[in-house]
Amino acid sequence: MVAMLILVILVPAGITKYYEVKSPTEGSWQDIEQDAIQSYKETLAGEDLTEEDKAYFQEQMAISEYRLANDAPSQKDSSLASFMSFTSGMLTLVTLFTVITAASIVSSEFSTGTIKMLLTRPMSRAKVLTSKLLTTFLFGLLLYVVNVVVSALIGLVLFGMGTGVELEMVNGQVVEKAVWSDLAYHYLLSGGDFVMSTLFAFLIGSVFRSSSLAIGLTMFLSFTGGMIVMFLSRYDIVKYIWLTHSDLTQYEHGGGSMIADVTLPFSLTVLAIYAVVFLVISYSTFMKRDVTA
Amino acid sequence: MTEPIVQLQNLSKTIRGKQLIQQLNIDLYPGQITGFLGPNGAGKTTTIRMMTGLMHPTEGNVIIDGLSLKEHYEEAISKVGVIVENPEMYKFMSGYKNLLHFARMHKNVTKERIQEVIQQVGLENRIHEKVSTYSLGMRQRLGLAQALLHRPKFLILDEPTNGLDPAGIREFRMYLRKIASEEGVSVFVSSHLLSEIELMCDRVAVIQNGQLIDLRDIHNESSSFYYVEAQPKEQVSAYLEQCDFNFVAENQGYVVEMKKEDVPAMTTQLVQAGIQLFAVQPHQKTLEDQFLEMTGGGQIAEANSK
């Protein structure tokens, strides 16, 4: 799984680099910015523009003018930061692999019959299950770290730190984008879905002793979660199911939840309650079970 | 007798209204090998699972070396070595790594001890190969090795000779006898191989429909039997009746319940009466006969529902 993860990061990096080397951009960056301003102006002169579009193009134009005035070139090619924000998408894969592990770490002991060897050791069942859970999360954490370190290394070797500056408009002011803290925040918020999916797969795997059911159900919920939330969004109950909250990246860039009155602390509280519920069910069924495998 | 090392007290198990095990009381003593017999579905495996903590008894308790399995699980189970049915090992690891893995879950199992056990079960040559390449007999040996690692005081074996070759069975029997007599280990063996149990055990416990129906010592029958084959049969039976012996007809002769001292007198009298005497030999009921007599045939025990 680790090798697969590295491969998945390596391949798009190679492809991006290949095309960059093959088709270098022409002209100085100043010329390009001038052209861009020209085209923004033309677009703004057009008539059928919504207020939103207008604001957007005006923003872009302001940024381009700021670049020319302050000698701050844009990121011409891919840089370490842009590559890493691209590979942060691979966290889905990290979650998938961890879910597979969580789903099968208990259920496979049952299906191979080794559970009876394990449970006749002088270890209480609570200890056995705790070590399984810790192993799952340590493995997930390892994948997380591998994802970050490998994409940082590959990004650094292939693209370097980059020469340009990322800019954005905040409250009518052009400021430098806090690329790194944004990225770190993204990694942190992605942890929400990671933890919840892993715990859910662990729950189904240890209760129903079927890894395929656990993987299937977890994946199904992560694909249809959005739909279920949309479907239920008319009712108040939507606030209290974990699917509404597990994707914490909705709070990125100052964004809010698509459900009214739901804030980040509220989401975290709901997720924490569900996490405890999942664990309690996992532990109580595992401790009580008569092992006949 | 010495204190029992394992006590089953009123052990009962009910699953969905079906009473699988009813009020089982058995004491097991150090240095003794007890066989556990019963027709299919009688509750042998359920009992063994309850003795190892894999199943929770509905009622009653298992006491191991004075500790209740319910309340002091870790301490109690650390004195027990177990093989439940086929010993399932991690197939993707070598035999040695499996042993190492299980050894880590016990206190005080050294590398030397692992080597010693491997030697005892005769797996030195193949121990570093993956378990998936092992034959059933080799897996049994590995299973025995993991059960012995922590020098248990009590050994529970479910069908241990299943898949062993004749030499392996013999070796295994000798080995069990040795650890029972030298280290005072109490052994509890369930098996279908009655001849095997007969050779191996000091005692047998017989269970049927979840109830203990017999618990007896092997090898010391209180009354002795002799098989007498002679012609003509009418005269023989008339003579036996006259002497007040209990007897039953079997094959060409009779099985007679009589004391050893009476044998020479009977032979002389039969010969003097002109009866043709072909054979007089001690007759022992095999465990198989006794077992079938007790359990009454081969049908699978009916689960008695309430």
pLDDT, tens digit (0-9, with 9 covering 90-100), for B237-286: 888 888 777 787 777 788 887 777 788 888 888 888 888 888 888 777 66
A149 in any annotated domain: yes
**Helices and strands (H, E) in chain B, number of each type:** 10, 14
Name every chain B residue with its beta carbon within 8 A of the beta carbon of A122: 73-75, 77-78, 105-107
**Looking at the domain that runs over B225-284, which CATH code has it been given?**
3.30.70
According to the model, what pLDDT value does residue A261 have?
Answer: 74
Closest partner residue to A123 among B54, B88, B105, by Cβ?
B105
- pLDDT class for A24, splitting at 50, 70, 90? low
According to the model, what pLDDT value does residue A164 have?
Answer: 66
Please write the tens of the pLDDT for every residue from A183-240: 888 888 888 899 999 999 999 999 999 899 999 999 999 888 888 888 888 888 888 8
According to the model, what pLDDT value does residue A293 have?
Answer: 64
Name every chain A residue with its beta carbon within 8 A of the beta carbon of B144: none
The answer to whether the CB atoms of B56 and A288 lie below 8 A apart is yes
Q: Is the pLDDT confidence value at B301 over 90? A: no
Name every chain B residue with its beta carbon within 8 A of the beta carbon of A288: 56
- Find the chain B residues whose C-beta atoms sit closer than 8 A to any C-beta of A: 15, 49, 52-56, 73-75, 77-78, 80, 82, 84, 86-91, 102, 105-107, 146
Domains in chain A, number: 1
A208 CA: distance to closest CA in chain B (Å) = 17
Please write the tens of the pLDDT for every residue from B64-121: 988 898 889 999 999 999 988 788 899 999 999 999 999 999 988 899 999 999 998 8
According to the model, what pLDDT value does residue A9 have?
Answer: 86
What is the phi/psi pair of residue B252, to 5°? -90, -5
Please write the tens of the pLDDT for every residue from A94-113: 999 999 999 999 999 999 98
A217 in any annotated domain: yes
Count of pairs with CB atoms under 8 A, one residue in A, one in B? 55
The answer to whether the CB atoms of B88 and A119 lie below 8 A apart is no
Closest partner residue to B87 among A117, A288, A292, by Cβ?
A117
- Between A100-114, A130-144, A150-164, the lowest mean confidence (pLDDT) is in A150-164
Rounded Cα distance between A241 and A232, Å, is 10
- pLDDT class for B223, splitting at 50, 70, 90? low
Among the listed residues B249, B236, B244, B238, the one whose alpha carbon sits nearest the alpha carbon of residue B262: B244
Cα→Cα distances B57→A121, A288, B154, B199, Å: 19, 11, 19, 32
A292 in any annotated domain: no
Rounded Cα distance between A45 and A82, Å, is 32
According to the model, what pLDDT value does residue B154 have?
Answer: 92
Domain that holds residue A107: 2-12+32-287
Cis peptide before A24 (omega within 30 of 0): no
- pLDDT class for B129, splitting at 50, 70, 90? very high
More confident residue, B20 or B233: B20
Domain extent listing, chain B:
6-217, 225-284
CATH domain B6-217 topology: Rossmann fold (3.40.50)
| Most confident stretch, A270-284, B222-236, B254-268 | A270-284
